[in-house]
Amino acid sequence: MLASLLVLAGCTEPKVRQPRPSSSGTAAPSAGTSTPGLDPSAPGNDFDATEGTDPALAAFYSQEPTWESCTGSGNLECAEVLVPMNYADPNGETITIAVNRNQTAGPGAPTLLLNPGGPGGSGTEMAEYAPFLFTGVTDTYNVAGFDPRGVETSSAIDCVTDPELDAWLTKDADISTDEGLQAYVEEFRGFAQDCVDNTGPLLEFVDTDSVARDLDILRAVVSQTEQLDYVGFSYGTFLGAVYADLFTERVGSFVFDAAVDPALSLAELALGQAQGFDRAITAFMEDCLAGSSCFHQGSVDEGLAKISQLFDVAFATSLPTSDANRPLTSSLALTGVITAMYTTLYWSALNTALDEAVNRGTGTALLALADTGNSRNPDGTFDGNGSEVIMAVNCLDYPVEGTLEDWRAAAEQMNVDYPTFGDAMAYSEVTCSNWPYQSSRVREQISASGSSPILVVGTTRDPATPYEWSVSLAEQLENGHLLTLDGDGHTSYGMNSCITRHVDEFLLTGTIPAAGTTC
């Protein structure tokens, strides 16, 4: 059984807006200090936006965007920045990148750019609530966000209508059989053609290398500094690593939280996530049984088997919900459980949802979790276009390797090794092999030799970007430094007080946590 191919093709994460935890934890050790630079737009500073850049891109680097108060928010300023659609043709068509900033530190303060991940996450949305998550640095930095090319309020990917996307995310697919594969491919090719027709030529140019080049223009235009200060989460760590590889001398204070290993193939990405989500669902089950009201009473393995059986039951006959028009399919059940793995804040809700689905045969609560993961509103509309962006970017970033026989063998092994979710992470190659634009990127390690220190944060039971990926990226980077959270969930800066204290000190003073530091 395979479900939710759109969602599980990469490192997407649901929009989980979480409150900053109360202050606690240990102080960060010192390992040398530096201070963030002043904004060169302040009196006494000289800044040439085009210095060291391609002369063909000079007009983009030297542009002066118009900043205005964002609609519905008096604390945010919004602007649009022009970039080439195709960097190989800088005199060709242009696109716009939406950017906003919270001037919490005031004019002249340095800018900290954020990327929340995805691919498909909205940085402008993250910047709206960043002052509540990153309070330790907002007196020093003005926090800014941007929607990468293809995303939401920038020049955006548009494939299908919201009702059509809703129907697509609800579908169950089984491509382990020739008949199921043929049916899926036929449907998906129609979906992909809709993306071409409704998006236009931009669809070919939403790869991460292009986004990294946009990021350097944002450095010049928004930050107005010779070096970029940046925090990337999940996929945003890959974006940051690509930027560090392309513009090594431009790396300022960089933090990568929940890292993606840039050397991974599509198959290795899927295997890592299969391991990560299996580890996470096991941790959930152990936590559930340690309480007094778990949906299951018995062993961990027996509880996991009930969850797996739920997916099979919903695949055979979808479960009724409070909305007669929206039964819980296997795809939606899987998405609901997967969504709850991103943060322990959802574990109680998942227990309630599983009690309802497993023990009572109804799926209302699990459907609500799936809607959260899919960013679906109660009226059937969607916040953003992440479900469409993730395919377009991943299929440009990851070359298709192997054969159908290889993919089926890998799926069968996942069913054996990770029986709760089975082959749900498999077959991304089928999707990308039928995408209209194929990747030519070489998947390889990134060292960013000569860069400033880069802090990599990894969580030991992270489901979507397993801890091993953070360890690997920190080792690959010539000046990478690993900070570990022994815990659960996806990303930790702004959520765990110990991690936040270390990261804040790094951003504010340049202090690198001592080797082996674990929160």
pLDDT tens track for 114-139: 999 999 999 999 999 988 899 999 99
307 CB-contact burial (10 Å; exposed 0-12 / middle 13-18 / buried 19+): buried
Give the residue numbers annotated as catalytic, written as ranges. 234, 462, 490
Which of 212, 462, 375 shows the shortest CA–CA distance to 471? 462
pLDDT tens track for 255-264: 999 999 999 9
Residue that is written with structure tokens 């630079």 in the block: 37
- Per-residue pLDDT at 33: 30
Looking at this protein, which amino acid is placed at residue 439? S
Whole-number Å distance between alpha carbons of 484 and 481: 10
Plot region of 491 (φ>0 → left; ψ -120 to 50 → alpha; else → beta): left
* 8 Å CB contact between 143 and 167: no
- Per-residue pLDDT at 36: 38
* 117-to-16, 18, 44, 129, 245 alpha-carbon distances in Å: 12, 16, 36, 15, 18
- Per-residue pLDDT at 321: 98
List the domains of the chain with CATH numbers.
55-155+204-264+442-509 (3.40.50.1820)
- Per-residue pLDDT at 64: 94
- Per-residue pLDDT at 74: 63
Residue that is written with structure tokens 């008949």 in the block: 179
- Per-residue pLDDT at 73: 65
pLDDT beneath 70: ranges in the chain: 1-45, 72-74
* 8 Å CB contact between 353 and 338: no
The span from the first CA to the last CA of the chain, in angstroms, equals 38
* 8 Å CB contact between 333 and 422: no
